[in-house]
């Protein structure tokens, strides 16, 4: 009994040792083999990226789209790919691959494919970044034409995001990339643009690669929706080029431009450019939305509006601006004019941008209750974010007496745009409210979201404040803004074609860490202009900000103003709604003593007028093409902008000049009638499509 027990015990012990030894052998010696075997049998459902939706401009031009890029691989151990088929057709396949991709000779392609088949590669890379037309051609190549299971062809689609117009509105369009905070409209509408991912059954093979098991997806992805923006491509192009020219001219660090439609709040153009280490300019940051800084003199408008609303001042009241220097609580303030302005009206204080004049007014009425002044600013809708759908809006700052950095002079600094922070978009939103009879509308970037041809969602204009101030104050504020261009700091922007209202701002940029305690030894400036046009019936509002111009010229009227003027000129020249229907030649002739002038070539017209002794007013225009206005005893000439690749405005021209301009632009012209051009079938400002026909109706 005991002997048998020992035998059984030893047998069990030996069996246990054998099992343990085999386990160790499998783990250590054969472990790599079995782990690879297990991995090769792993199958999972992997997400298939949906095609991202497109982003369009207001006229349907594409601002961002997804381009399909393909990766082509080959299963050289496919079940249906026999040696007989492979050997018979590999030469033809190699020749076709060499002809399509041109990176290897047919012989090199054959060696590569034969070697891969000998190794039994199931997921051999043929080519990455294959374009759509190349992929279509591949499907008809020998062997590949047999499909996935008999020919081993594996095609994987990837989507590459492209902006057809490159830098145009790049930061506003933005991007949405994995692992990076989303930017612009791509980020704001990522859910709508992104679509719904599909599913595909994939198998893990040697080398850690994942190979699709089936030729089709198990769950097809749903493409993203399309976003239709308010951006006008032509105006955007003009805004960016005008900004770029001025930044280069003044060697400025950065700048931005925003153009808004007054009634709707639609953003028609938004440009941001900054200089890199090489001195080139690009859209690296959205300053228009994100840079909250001291606005300077453009903030004088809300300051005076507060005093107007409280009934303290009238535009005809007198203010003693002194000799150009004044002291407030130990701080010395200066005006830009040497010797000062003396005693002037409230209107001229604003028009001439007198710091001392504004501070005198605010000190007189709010010295004993500065909190009332600050409260008045907040009642105007200032101090709060406007709530943009695009991420990154800078926080505004309007200090009050409870702030730790508040001092006795803080409310006076605030009145002229210091110790306060606003973004260009926030300033423009306020100026747009004044142009819009006091109604503050939210800036709007997107009109609608669509799925192919059906509309998913439309966006109406949103009102932030029904009335920021009374109708009487709005009227006075608009009078102030018109005075700036009529006889104030921006009189260089005045022209005879349409009226402009706005305010210049030339601010010293704070250099200290807290932004208020000092301005450092190196003085830098920020030049800005905010306003709207036409002044009598505002259609568009605009703000221009240029930061750190390094040349000797840094005043806003000569740095920011010309950008505003160039954009306004472009819109005026190409927008039909700004122009009255042309009168007939007979109507004009009956009211004038001089021959009726058609618009046209400036040199030709001046030569004719000089020959018949007709007085001409042109404000020393240096334009090749001009628009003319025949008066009682003189002819006035105004600028007519002709932009490359855009349909010119030929209304009021002779047939000869109109045909010359249009045919040189690549258009085919058909004339109806005679006289001056009264109508054109293709609207001015549209992108030229070469060979397109345009019909001109003459008066």
User: What domains sit in the chain, N to C, each tagged with a CATH number?
Assistant: 46-229 (3.90.1310.10), 234-576 (3.40.710.10), 581-698 (3.30.10.20)
Query: Which residue in 327, 243, 347, 325 sits closest to 567, CA to CA?
Result: 243
DSSP bridge pairs for 68:
159
What pLDDT was estimated at residue 149? 80
Tokens at residue 66, please? 């997804």
Rounded Cα gap, residues 494 and 492, in angstroms? 6
Q: Please answer whether residues 209 and 525 qualify as being in contact, where contact means their C-beta atoms are separated by less than 8 angstroms.
A: no
Q: How far is CA 274 from the centre of its chain?
A: 14
Strand, coil or helix: what is 247?
Answer: helix
Q: Please answer whether residues 159 and 69 qualify as being in contact, where contact means their C-beta atoms are separated by less than 8 angstroms.
A: yes
Question: What CA–CA distances, in Å, run from 277 to 170, 201, 251?
Answer: 20, 48, 13
What pLDDT was estimated at residue 478? 96
Quick one: 402 exposed, middle or buried, by C-beta within 10 A (0-12, 13-18, 19+)?
exposed
Give the DSSP H or E segment for 129.
Answer: strand 124-130
Query: Which residue in 453, 446, 530, 441 sits closest to 493, CA to CA?
Result: 530
What pLDDT was estimated at residue 458? 93
Answer whether the bond into residue 534 is a cis peptide, omega within 30°: yes
| Run means of pLDDT, 10 residues per run, the chain, 699 residues | 86 88 81 65 67 88 86 87 90 92 90 91 88 88 87 83 84 84 88 79 62 63 89 91 90 93 95 90 92 93 95 92 87 86 93 93 93 94 91 92 90 93 95 96 94 88 93 95 94 89 85 48 79 93 88 76 90 74 51 69 80 74 73 75 78 86 86 86 79 87
What pLDDT was estimated at residue 214? 64
Tokens at residue 436, please? 């819009």
Beta strands in 564-647 (DSSP E): 600-601, 615-617, 625-630, 634-639
Q: What is the DSSP letter of 469?
A: S
Tokens at residue 45, please? 């459902």
Sign of the alpha-carbon dihedral angle for 459, 465, 470, 475: negative
Rounded Cα gap, residues 436 and 465, in angstroms? 11
For residues 248-258, one letter each, b for 16 or more C-beta atoms within 10 angstroms of the residue's C-beta and e for the rest, the string is eebebbbbbbb
Rounded Cα gap, residues 213 and 215, in angstroms? 7
Sign of the alpha-carbon dihedral angle for 466, 468, 469, 474: negative
What pLDDT was estimated at residue 288? 94
What pLDDT was estimated at residue 513? 44
Would you tell me how many other CB atoms lie within 10 Å of the CB of residue 316? 8
Rounded Cα gap, residues 163 and 328, in angstroms? 53
Contacts of 327 (CB under 8 A, 6+ apart): 333
- 256-313 tens-digit pLDDT: 999 999 999 999 999 999 998 888 999 889 999 999 999 999 999 999 999 999 999 9
What pLDDT was estimated at residue 39? 54
What pLDDT was estimated at residue 159? 79
Residue 74 phi/psi, 5-degree rounding, is -140, 130
Rounded Cα gap, residues 180 and 454, in angstroms? 32
Give the DSSP H or E segment for 326.
Answer: strand 325-328
What pLDDT was estimated at residue 48? 66
Q: Please answer whether residues 690 and 672 qualify as being in contact, where contact means their C-beta atoms are separated by less than 8 angstroms.
A: no
Q: Please answer whether residues 83 and 117 qualify as being in contact, where contact means their C-beta atoms are separated by less than 8 angstroms.
A: no
Q: Please answer whether residues 508 and 276 qualify as being in contact, where contact means their C-beta atoms are separated by less than 8 angstroms.
A: no
Q: Please answer whether residues 545 and 256 qualify as being in contact, where contact means their C-beta atoms are separated by less than 8 angstroms.
A: yes
Place of tokens 């949405």: 176
Residues in the chain: 699
Rounded Cα gap, residues 108 and 93, in angstroms? 12
């Amino acid at each position: 009994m005991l002997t048998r027990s020992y035998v059984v015990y030893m047998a069990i012990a030996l069996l246990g040792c054998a099992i343990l030894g085999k386990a160790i052998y499998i783990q250590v010696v054969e472990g790599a083999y079995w782990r690879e075997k297990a991995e090769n049998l792993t199958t999972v459902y992997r997400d298939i990226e949906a095609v991202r939706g497109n982003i369009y401009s207001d006229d349907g031009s594409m601002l961002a789209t997804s381009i399909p890029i393909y990766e082509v691989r080959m299963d050289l151990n496919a079940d249906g790919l026999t040696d007989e088929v492979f050997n018979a057709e590999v030469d033809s396949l190699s020749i076709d691959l060499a002809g399509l991709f041109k990176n290897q000779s047919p012989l090199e392609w054959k060696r590569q494919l034969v070697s891969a088949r000998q190794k039994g590669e199931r997921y051999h890379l043929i080519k990455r970044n294959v374009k759509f037309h190349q992929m279509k051609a591949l499907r008809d190549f020998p062997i590949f034409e047999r499909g996935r299971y008999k020919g081993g062809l594996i095609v994987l689609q990837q989507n590459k995001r492209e902006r057809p117009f490159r830098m145009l509105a790049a930061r506003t369009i933005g991007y949405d990339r994995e692992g990076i905070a989303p930017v612009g409209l791509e980020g704001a509408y990522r859910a709508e643009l992104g679509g719904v991912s599909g599913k595909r059954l994939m198998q893990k093979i040697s080398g850690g690669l994942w190979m699709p098991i089936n030729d089709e997806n198990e769950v097809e992805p749903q493409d993203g929706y399309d976003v239709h923006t308010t951006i006008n491509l032509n105006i955007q192009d003009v805004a960016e080029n005008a900004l770029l020219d001025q930044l280069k001219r003044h060697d400025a660090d950065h700048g931005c431009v925003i153009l808004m439609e007054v009634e709707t709040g639609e953003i028609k153009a938004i440009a941001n450019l900054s200089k890199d280490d090489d001195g080139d300019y690009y859209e690296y940051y959205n300053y228009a939305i994100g840079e909250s800084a001291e606005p300077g003199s453009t903030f004088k408008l809300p300051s005076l509006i507060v005093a107007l609303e409280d009934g303290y001042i009238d535009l005809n009241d007198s203010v003693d601006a002194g000799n150009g220097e004044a002291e407030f609580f130990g701080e010395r303030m200066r005006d830009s004019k040497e010797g000062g302005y003396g005693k002037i009206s409230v209107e001229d204080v604003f028009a001439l941008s007198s710091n001392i004049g504004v501070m005198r007014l605010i000190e007189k009425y709010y010295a004993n209750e500065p909190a009332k002044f600050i409260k008045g600013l907040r009642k105007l809708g200032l101090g709060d974010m406007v709530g943009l759908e695009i991420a990154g809006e800078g926080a505004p700052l309007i200090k009050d007496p409870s702030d730790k950095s508040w001092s006795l002079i803080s409310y006076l600094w605030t009145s002229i745009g210091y110790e306060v922070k606003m973004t260009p978009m926030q300033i423009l939103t306020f100026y747009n409210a004044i142009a819009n009879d006091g109604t503050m509308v939210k800036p709007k970037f997107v009109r609608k979201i669509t799925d192919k041809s059906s509309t998913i969602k439309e966006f109406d204009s949103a009102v932030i404040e029904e009335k920021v101030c009374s109708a009487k104050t709005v009227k006075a504020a608009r009078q102030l803004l018109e005075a700036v261009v009529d006889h104030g700091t921006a009189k260089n922007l005045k022209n005879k074609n349409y009226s402009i209202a706005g305010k210049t701002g030339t601010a010293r940029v704070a250099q200290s860490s807290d932004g208020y305690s000092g301005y450092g030894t190196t003085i830098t400036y920020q030049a800005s202009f905010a306003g709207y046009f036409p002044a009598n019936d505002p259609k568009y509002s605009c703000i221009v900000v240029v930061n750190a111009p390094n040349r000797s010229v840094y005043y806003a009227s000569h740095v920011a103003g010309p950008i505003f003027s160039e954009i306004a000129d472009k819109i005026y020249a190409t927008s039909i709604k700004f122009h009255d229907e042309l009168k007939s030649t007979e109507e004009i002739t009956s009211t004038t003593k001089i021959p009726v002038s058609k618009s046209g070539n400036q040199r030709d017209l001046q030569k004719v007028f000089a020959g018949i002794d007709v007085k001409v007013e042109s404000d020393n225009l240096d334009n090749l093409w001009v628009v003319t206005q025949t008066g009682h005893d003189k002819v006035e000439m105004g600028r007519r902008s002709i932009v490359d690749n855009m349909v010119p405005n030929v209304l009021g021209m002779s047939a000869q000049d109109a045909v010359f301009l249009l045919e040189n632009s690549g258009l085919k012209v058909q004339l109806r009638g005679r006289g001056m051009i009264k109508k054109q079938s293709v609207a001015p400002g549209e992108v030229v499509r070469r060979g397109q026909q345009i019909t001109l109706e003459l008066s």
